[in-house]
């Protein structure tokens, strides 16, 4: 718990100072973007309104104070509370990330199951597929999926729409590399489990290969992958920055991208903080899942 | 296209069932349509803003086109520009705002095919003898979409709004520099008082950044007005789902189409869905699969691909104002020496680069002004390439060849810092800069390209840390030359912004530009601008590349798209085949 608070504080502090270290006058962003021909008066008024005329340490303390009361500040560019901006964009990104996470798991299980069932050839093939999938960059993969499924086949829209068909391509773009990674992790434990004595005894009891896999091996295979889901979720959020921009899908990733480009400091810090919070929560959920799967953990 | 149209054509049909059904029957018989790609035909043709474009001017004469416009439907527009933070183009004033505002706001004047100001919301105008007062009479049959009538008071309120520092207008504010105040002579006539004669005013009033909005709506305050400005245009802002789309609904009471419009009443399209799709490849793919009807910021590769697709038409509408050019900072060494500037231009071969990187979609420019402007003077002579001459000039200027190929003088290397804004330069342009970098290296220049985001780029300029820069500038009329090359433009605004990036400081040029801006006689004005351009081109302060590229691609089933004063598309005449 204390660790979680520390992580959040560190994330808030690092982003606060990092975004202030970059060049550019935030007052100009407020007035109308870089290159604005705003007068000195208008700039001064904007600085005063957003407290930018205060010393840095005072700005920092005010910012922390605001955080404690749940206030993330006001967006320079959108002129709306950051909590509201994030609140609007969060559901879309969560839907995307969770769908991708589920899809990623499903694909990974399929891969591992396939490899566990087949002989040496399918095993090698499975490994190649996993390594390749894990290495695919989101940007390239998304572009290829658009080219195949939207432009050529016309099955799915290339621009993400709020309905289910619009979610498939962006989610797949995130899920495929994730599946490759999860598959690699699961495989190793699955192999160990298959070679272990309990698998042998189960087989001796007359357990079918499918039953052996789903009832006995899977638990062991899933464990390391489950504990990595927190990390996986994080990669999904950072992947969302690319995928949401590519598919023109509204969400937190695109908000973050635009905010960084536009030097919208409160939105950047707010988004980073929310993502950090999500990391913490997901890691916690991953721990819970581990306990569910592994009875040994429950006794501790 | 079918997916979207199926959802909407029903609405259009409901209003006019019988004719719609019979049209549909005809259309079935007349298929298949045979639209020809009109890329070449469209190039240059759009210099005339009023021209009917692409599919319409092609005259391939498919049945459905011959039948005339279809009523109804939702047009989906995909913009690659950044989403505006305020839909009122008075606030700030950039191109993305102008693109969308063209659909719901209108101006006092329009520009005809010769770029001459013609009446739009203003019915007529009269300039005082001394050139210090302009009486503008507005039409008496126009009402803003909130019910407020268009009067002289609206003109006064809009100019006051643009000049109010609280509004934060930059483009509109600059265009009204010489306006002192506005007097309401009667219900329909506003007298604009000027501090000195302004021959660019009527041209400037045609820009969307000086659009006329409902005075009652302006009074609502910045926040509300930014979310939904109220004008007299063919559409109104109905919804704005940030980061996703702006929904524009047809103005059913519309009475004020621009002078070049074919349509006299409300638009044919019922609704426009204005989406933001930042990624160029996705945008093109959405157009190719028919998810959207129009895309802007079409990239050279997409344009050349579209030329092979009969279902897609192309509009090439270069922006007015300045050409795209590289400016040489003459305010400091080494470019304060004319010989070094000349040597750079002699070494910088750009023609092949433009041809190959832009797939033939951009034509080489030899002018400081956009090719669509009045009084444009193009001269290839100062821009010839000759490596030997470049070397000789540099030798003469005291820059001697160093060990690593880079010339030096008094221990200083011949380094040229070139900050490039990745927001303003498309990938093809950045590649072109890299080719120039390689070409001038042969003569001993060490060009250092720095790719920067917009804020860092402005900062590099404000700190005078550049020898080369390329900055777009859109404006109507040749007076843009005064903004860009008058020595007043070297003095930065409090934000650090300045427009004279070449830091051209020539009293004779200043005098010509000031005089031209005061001269109402068009012939005389043209002569002054010609002399000014001769100084700018002959002094090797700039390396013109091409017009500001502004390409639209649309489904061939969309007809009647035209572009207005700053080359933004209007859909007042547009209709969709279904």
The verdict on a CB contact (< 8 Å) between B78 and A159 is yes
Task: Say whether B89 sits in a helix, a strand or coil.
Answer: coil
Residue with tokens 């505002």: B101
Residue of chain B minimizing CA distance to A142: B282
Query: What does the domain layout of chain B look like in residue ranges?
Result: 66-317+551-576, 324-546
Looking at the complex, report in whole angstroms how far the Cα of residue B503 sits from the nearest Cα belonging to chain A. 17
**The pLDDT of residue A29:** 67
Fold classification of B66-317+551-576 (topology level): D-Maltodextrin-Binding Protein; domain 2 (3.40.190)
Contact by Cβ (8 Å): A220, A193: yes
Pairing of strands B412-413, B408-409: antiparallel
Question: Which chain A residues are closer than 8 Å to B276 by Cβ?
Answer: 248
**Architecture of the domain defined by A86-297:** Orthogonal Bundle (1.10)
Contact A78, A264 (CB under 8 A): yes
> What is the spatial distance between Cα B338 and Cα B336, in angstroms, rounded to a whole number?
6
When scoring A149, A158, A169, A251 by the number of chain B Cβ atoms within 10 A, the one with the most, hence best to mutate, is A158
Give residue for tokens 């989403």: B83
Q: In the prediction, which pLDDT does B4 show?
A: 34
B470: left (phi over 0), alpha (psi -120 to 50) or beta: beta
Instruction: Say how many C-beta atoms besides its own lie within 10 A of residue B195's C-beta.
Output: 10
Q: What is the pLDDT of residue B31?
A: 34
Question: B530, exposed or middle or buried, with CB in 10 Å at 0-12, 13-18, 19+?
Answer: middle
Residue B2's pLDDT is 33
Contact A36 B497 (CB under 8 A): yes
- By the 8 A CB rule, do B119 and B258 touch? no
Per-residue pLDDT of A130-166, as tens digits, reads 888 888 888 889 889 988 888 788 888 878 777 778 8
Decide if A159 and B243 are in contact by the 8 Å CB cutoff: no
Residue of B nearest to A251 (CA): B243
**Mutate which: B77, B166, B289, vs A, most A CBs within 10 A:** B289
CA B179, B184, B187: angle at the middle one, nearest 5? 140
User: CA–CA distance from B50 to each of B118, B203, B260, B319, B562 (Å)?
Assistant: 12, 15, 6, 14, 6
The torsion angles phi and psi of B514, rounded to 5 degrees, stand at -65, -45
The beta-carbon neighbor of B289 closest among A35, A37, A150 is A150
Helix (H) or strand (E) holding B420: strand B415-421
Contacts of B241 in chain A (CB under 8 A): 250
Cα(first)–Cα(last) distance of chain A, in Å? 18
* Extended beta strands in chain A, E state: none
**In this predicted structure, what is the pLDDT of residue A255?**
87
* Chain A residue nearest residue B86, CA to CA: A78
Evaluate whether B154 touches B190 at the Cβ level (below 8 Å). no
CA gap B339, B335 in Å, rounded: 8
Gap between the Cα atoms of B33 and B311, Å rounded: 9
Helices B507-518 and B522-538 sit at what angle, rounded to 10 degrees? 160
Rounded CA separation A26/B491 (Å): 22
Among A196-205, A234-243, B385-394, which range has the highest average pLDDT? B385-394
Asked if B495 contacts A30 with a C-beta cutoff of 8 angstroms, the reply is no
Does position A3 have pLDDT exceeding 70, yes or no?
yes
- Interchain proximity B289–A154, CB inside 8 Å: yes
CATH superfamily of B324-546: Dipeptide-binding Protein; Domain 3 (3.10.105.10)
Compare A83 and B315 and report the one with higher pLDDT: B315
Cβ neighbours for B452, distance < 8 A, ≥ 6 positions apart: B419, B420, B421, B422, B460
Count of positions (residues) in chain B: 578
Determine the Cα–Cα distance for residues B436 and A53; give it in Å rounded to an integer: 43
Q: Which residues of A touch B497 (CB under 8 A)?
A: 35-37
How many Å apart are CA A63 and CA B444, to the nearest integer? Answer: 52
Identify the H or E element spanning B552: strand B551-555
Best of B494, B496, B501 to disrupt the A interface (most A CBs within 10 Å) is B494
Short-list B344, B326, B347, CA closest to B335: B344
Q: Would B66-317+551-576 and B324-546 be classified into the same CATH topology?
A: no
Q: Do B168 and A38 touch (CB under 8 A)?
A: yes
The one-digit pLDDT tens for each residue of chain B (578 residues) are 333 333 333 333 333 333 333 333 333 333 333 333 333 333 333 333 333 333 333 333 344 555 778 999 999 999 998 888 889 999 888 899 999 999 999 999 999 999 999 999 999 999 999 999 999 999 999 999 999 999 999 999 999 999 988 887 888 888 999 999 999 999 999 999 999 999 999 999 999 999 999 999 999 988 899 999 999 999 999 999 887 899 999 999 999 999 999 999 999 999 999 999 988 989 999 999 899 999 999 999 999 999 999 999 999 999 999 999 999 999 999 999 999 999 999 999 999 999 999 999 999 999 999 999 999 999 999 999 999 999 999 999 999 988 889 999 999 999 999 999 988 899 999 999 999 999 999 999 999 999 988 878 888 888 899 999 999 999 999 999 999 999 999 987 766 778 899 999 999 999 999 999 999 999 999 999 999 999 999 999 999 999 999 999 999 999 999 999 999 999 999 999 97
Per-residue exposure over B202-221, b if at least 16 CB sit within 10 Å of its own CB, e if not: bbbbbbbbbbbbbbebbebe
Enter the DSSP assignment of A217: I
For chain A, the structural domain boundaries read 2-68, 86-297
**SS3 of B272, please?**
strand
Residues in B touching A147 (Cβ below 8 Å)? 285
Instruction: Mark yes or no for CB contact B85/A254 under 8 Å.
Output: no
**Pair A179, A108: CB distance under 8 Å:** yes
């Amino acid at each position: 718990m204390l660790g979680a608070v520390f992580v959040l504080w560190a994330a808030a502090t690092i982003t606060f100072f990092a975004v202030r270290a970059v060049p550019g006058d935030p007052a100009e962003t407020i007035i109308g973007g870089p290159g604005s021909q705003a007068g000195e008066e208008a700039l001064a008024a904007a600085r005063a309104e957003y407290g930018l005329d205060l010393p840095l340490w005072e700005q920092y303390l005010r910012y922390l104070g605001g955080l404690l009361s749940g206030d993330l500040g006001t967006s320079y560019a959108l002129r709306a509370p950051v909590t509201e901006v994030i609140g609007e964009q969060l559901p879309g990104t969560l839907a995307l990330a969770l769908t991708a996470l589920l899809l990623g798991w499903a694909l990974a299980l399929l891969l591992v199951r396939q490899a566990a069932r087949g002989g040496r050839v399918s095993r090698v093939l499975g490994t190649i597929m996993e390594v390749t999938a894990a290495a695919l960059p989101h940007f390239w993969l998304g572009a290829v999926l658009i080219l195949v499924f939207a432009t050529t086949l016309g099955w799915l829209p290339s621009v993400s729409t709020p309905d289910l068909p619009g979610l498939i391509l962006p989610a797949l773009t995130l899920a495929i590399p994730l599946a490759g990674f999860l598959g690699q992790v699961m495989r190793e434990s699955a192999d160990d489990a298959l070679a272990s004595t309990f698998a042998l005894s189960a087989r001796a009891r007359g357990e079918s290969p499918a039953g052996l896999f789903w009832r006995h091996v899977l638990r062991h295979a899933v464990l390391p992958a489950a504990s990595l889901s927190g990390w996986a979720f994080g990669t999904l959020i950072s992947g969302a920055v690319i995928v949401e921009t590519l598919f023109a899908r509204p969400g937190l990733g695109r908000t973050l991208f635009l905010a960084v480009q536009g030097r919208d400091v409160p939105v950047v810090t707010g988004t980073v903080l929310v993502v950090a919070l999500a990391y913490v929560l997901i890691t916690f959920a991953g721990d819970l899942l581990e306990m569910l799967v592994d009875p040994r953990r429950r006794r501790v | 296209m079918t997916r979207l149209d199926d959802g909407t054509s029903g609405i259009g049909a409901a209003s006019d069932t019988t004719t719609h059904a019979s049209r549909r029957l005809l259309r079935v018989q007349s298929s298949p349509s045979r639209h020809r790609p009109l890329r070449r035909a469209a190039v240059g043709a759009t210099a005339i803003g009023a021209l009917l474009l692409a599919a319409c001017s092609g005259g391939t004469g498919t049945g459905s086109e011959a039948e005339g416009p279809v009523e109804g439907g939702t047009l989906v527009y995909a913009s690659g520009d950044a989403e505006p933070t305020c839909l009122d183009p008075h606030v700030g004033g950039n191109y993305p705002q102008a693109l969308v505002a063209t659909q719901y706001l209108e101006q006092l004047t329009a520009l005809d095919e010769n770029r001459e100001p013609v009446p739009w919301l203003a019915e007529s105008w009269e300039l005082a003898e001394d050139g210090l007062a302009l009486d503008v009479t507005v039409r008496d049959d126009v009402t803003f979409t909130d019910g407020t009538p268009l009067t002289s008071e609206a003109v006064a309120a809009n100019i006051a709004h643009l000049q109010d520092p609280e509004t934060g207008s930059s483009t509109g504010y600059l265009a009204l520099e010489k306006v002192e105040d506005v007097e309401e002579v009667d219900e329909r006539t506003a007298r604009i008082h000027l501090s000195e004669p302004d021959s660019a005013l009527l041209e400037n009033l045609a820009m969307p950044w000086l659009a006329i909005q409902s005075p009652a709506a302006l009074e609502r305050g910045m926040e509300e007005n930014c979310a939904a400005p109220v004008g007299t245009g063919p559409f109104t802002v109905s919804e704005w789902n940030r980061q996703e789309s702006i929904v524009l609904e047809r103005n059913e009471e519309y009475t004020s189409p621009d002078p070049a419009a074919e349509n006299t009443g409300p638009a044919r399209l019922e609704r426009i869905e204005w989406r933001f799709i930042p990624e160029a490849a996705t945008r093109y793919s959405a157009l190719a699969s028919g998810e959207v009807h129009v895309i802007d910021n079409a990239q050279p590769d997409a344009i050349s691909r579209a030329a092979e697709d009969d279902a897609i038409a192309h509009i090439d509408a270069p922006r007015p104002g300045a050409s795209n050019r590289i400016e040489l900072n003459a305010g400091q060494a080494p470019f304060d020496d004319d010989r070094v500037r000349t040597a750079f231009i002699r070494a910088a071969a750009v023609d092949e680069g433009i041809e190959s990187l832009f797939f033939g979609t951009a034509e080489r420019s030899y002018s400081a002004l956009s090719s669509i402007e009045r009084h444009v003077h193009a001269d290839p002579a100062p821009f010839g390439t000759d490596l030997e001459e470049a070397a000789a000039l540099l030798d003469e200027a005291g820059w001697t060849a160093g060990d690593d190929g880079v010339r030096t003088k008094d221990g200083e290397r011949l380094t040229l810092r070139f900050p490039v804004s990745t927001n303003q330069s498309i990938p093809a342009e950045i590649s072109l800069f890299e080719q120039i970098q390689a070409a001038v290296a042969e003569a001993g220049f060490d060009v250092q390209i720095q790719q920067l985001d917009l804020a860092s780029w402005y900062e590099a300029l404000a700190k005078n840390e550049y020898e080369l820069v390329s900055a777009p500038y859109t404006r109507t009329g040749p007076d843009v030359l005064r903004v860009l090359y008058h020595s007043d433009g070297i003095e930065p605004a409090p934000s650090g912004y300045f427009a004279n990036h070449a830091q051209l400081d020539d009293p004779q040029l200043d005098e010509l530009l000031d005089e031209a801006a005061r001269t109402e006689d068009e012939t005389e004005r043209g002569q002054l601008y010609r002399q000014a351009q001769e100084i700018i081109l002959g002094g090797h302060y700039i390396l013109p590349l091409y017009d500001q590229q502004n390409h639209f691609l649309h489904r061939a089933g969309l007809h009647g798209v035209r572009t207005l004063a700053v080359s933004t598309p209007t859909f007042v005449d547009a209709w969709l085949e279904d």
